[in-house]
Amino acid sequence: MLLLAFAVVCYSGFAQSCKYFPADCPETRSDPYGSQEDSVSRLDNPVLPLEVTMENRLRTKVNDWMNRIAAKEGWEVVELSEDLASGERDAGGNVMAYAQRPPHWMVFRFQFVVNADSLAAWAAWFKEFAQRRIDNMRAGKPDNGFEAERNRQRVHYRDAALLVVEIGFNVDFAKTIEGSALAVVGPDPIWMNNKQPDPIAVDLMNRSHNCMLLLRGGWKRSAPGGGFAAAFAKDRKCDQVQNLSITFSGNGGAIRHCFTDLPVSQLDGLIGRAVDFF
């Protein structure tokens, strides 16, 4: 009975979800990213004003990059979510002084609809699938095969319809697909093939077959197949960009186009610069 109730809720909620559903919907916030309310709330963490300025300026910059790429390619883009560093305190609980603070990190996540027809087909399939599963449950038939079909189709349509780009500044670790053969750190992007995508994985990159990683700044191999660890310089200030990681996942062709469209010179120009120079 619980399974039936769950299926009914999923089906009835179809029309009420965001326009990207069944793809990911952007995080709903009462204080939009970069708004005055958002910036004030960030200071309570405690985050320094310079760090909030860094967040806001980098947000503007990466949104500009993504919007320019979307306009050039004829795609639609939305920012899904952000993760931002909390403030730093010393061992005594005092707000850590500017000169002693570690690099301030942030991660921005964007979703491009690169094939609107595939997204529409995904929505049509989901509606039909949800109704078919409800009818099956009401008839008292076993649920054999439905979960496998749902997972298979989620991966299929995501790879056809979407491109997800995750941009990290000053993060301490760049994840990779487990078991991937990785090159040494260099200027070229690192391609990874995910043989077993998980359509509900927490890490968005693990939901698709195709994934690419681009690194800038100080990085070193963490372990064979274990990603890359940041090599932070101790003499840099917290509001300077020490590294950049960009993860692309989803439609393989769209990944190539997006990488080609990226302003690589601007990426390189950010490394080692403080917020005042953005």
Q: pLDDT, tens digit, for every residue of 189-247?
A: 999 999 999 999 999 999 999 999 999 999 998 866 678 999 999 889 999 999 999 99
Place of tokens 């692309």: 248
**Burial of residue 159 (number of CB atoms within 10 Å: 0-12, 13-18, 19+):** buried
Q: Is the Cβ–Cβ distance between 125 and 21 less than 8 Å?
A: no
Question: What was the pLDDT predicted at 42?
Answer: 85
Average pLDDT over residues 51-69: 95
Residue 29, pLDDT above cutoff 50: yes
79: pLDDT confidence band, cut at 50, 70 and 90?
very high
The pLDDT of residue 225: 61
pLDDT in tens, 244-271: 999 999 999 999 999 999 998 899 999 9
pLDDT at 45 over 50: yes
The rounded percent of the chain whose pLDDT value lies above 90 is: 70
Distance CA 190, CA 186 (A): 9
Return mean pLDDT, the chain. Answer: 89
pLDDT score recorded for residue 14: 47
Please state, as a whole number, how many other Cβ atoms lie within 10 Å of the Cβ of residue 36.
Answer: 9
Query: What pLDDT is attached to residue 47?
Result: 93
> Kind of pairing, strands 162-169 and 173-174?
unpaired
> Rounded distance, CA 74 to CA 2, Å?
43
Average pLDDT over residues 168-189: 83
Place of tokens 């008292």: 140
* 157 closest CA partner among 118, 200, 211: 118
